[in-house]
Amino acid sequence: MPVTCQTLLDAHPAAWTQATTHPFLTGCHSGTLLPTQFNTWLVQDYLFVQDFTRMVGRVLGAAPDGHIDLLLAGLSALKDELLWFEDKATERSLDLSTPAQPTCQRYREFIASLAIAPYPVQAIALWAIEYAYNQGWQLPGPMPEPYTEFADRWGNPGFTEYVQRLATQANAALAAASSATQAQAEAAFLRVADLEAAFWQMAFTSGKEKIRG
Ligand code: HMH
């Protein structure tokens, strides 16, 4: 039985729940999140997305012919997303040249390390990273202002379809993969799940520390 996106989700429900549910997200939903917590996330996620864009470029470079179109569309959306992050930072007077926090840096190093992984492993990691935000931003329910546009960016129907197509491509790549590559894909999925949970926790706690001064 080959590994698929669905078998990974079924085998690791607790890891995936930790990746996609967090007091940060429910705090956005209930209006209890502090602006400093949100702003910490925003700046650190911009730094993440810059390197994630580089990762998607490398996935494109490793992709078979039939997968190029979707990945190009993904890169095009990331171009828009980086400009949007810059607008949001300007609106909030945030400095995007802030250093990456250790958790953000660990995640950036992990996605950089995928450069030498087989394509099916890269495809699973890409799907997991996008699916984590697609689910995470939707699960609490409709987000109030000022978070509506953030939830919509990763929860809108077009993005949801993009993530589903990433899953289809990852499954196709894995179907032909060796058992060693399938095991590596599972490890990458679990690594993404851990790093997603840590990323929410980073923003949630470091924003609070700043308030305490
Ligand atoms: C930490 N994971 C993180 N940031 C993001 N922007 C995404 C996933 C989705 O692109």
Separation of CA 124 and ligand 1 centre (Å): 14
Answer for the pair 20, 132: CB distance below 8 angstroms, yes or no. yes
Q: Is pLDDT above 60 for 212?
A: no
Mean pLDDT throughout 183-193? 98
C-alpha 151/C-alpha 29 separation (Å) is: 10
Residue 48 Cβ inside 6 Å of ligand 1? The answer reads: yes
Q: How far is the CA of 127 from the centre of ligand 1 (A)?
A: 11
Kindly tell me the burial class for residue 60, based on how many C-beta atoms sit within 10 Å of its own C-beta (0-12, 13-18, 19 or more). Answer: middle
Among protein residues, the one whose CA lies closest to atom 2 of ligand 1? 129
Q: Which atom of ligand 1 is nearest to the CA of 52?
A: 10
Q: What is the mean pLDDT of residues 183-212?
A: 89
Q: How far is the CA of 158 from the centre of ligand 1 (A)?
A: 16
Closest atom, ligand 1, to C-alpha of 104: 1
- Write down the pLDDT at residue 206: 83
Q: What is the mean predicted confidence (pLDDT) over 54-83? A: 98
Measured from the CB, is residue 45 less than 6 Å from ligand 1?
yes
Q: What is the mean pLDDT of residues 60-66?
A: 98
Go through 64-77 and write b for each residue having 16 or more CB atoms within 10 A of its CB, e for each that does not. eeebeebbeebeeb
Q: What's the pLDDT tens digit per position in 136-171?
A: 999 999 999 999 999 999 999 999 999 999 999 999
Rounded mean pLDDT, 51-77: 98
Give start and end residues of each alpha helix (H) in 13-100: 13-20, 23-30, 35-62, 68-91
Residue type, 42: L
- Which pLDDT belongs to residue 90? 98
Say whether 99 sits in a helix, a strand or coil.
coil
Q: Is the CB of 82 under 6 A from ligand 1?
A: no
1, pLDDT greater than 90: no
- Average pLDDT of the residues of the chain: 96
The pLDDT of residue 208 is: 63
pLDDT confidence of residue 207:
59
pLDDT, average across residues 36-40: 97
pLDDT band (50, 70, 90) for residue 213: very low
Mean pLDDT computed over 104-116: 98
In this structure, the dihedral spanned by the alpha carbons of residues 39, 113, 196 and 49, taken in order and rounded to 10 degrees, is: 30
Q: How confident is the model at residue 3 (pLDDT cuts 50, 70, 90)?
A: very high
Of the CA atoms within 13 Å of residue 46, those in its CB half-sphere come to 21
Per-residue confidence (pLDDT) for residue 210, from 0 to 100? 52
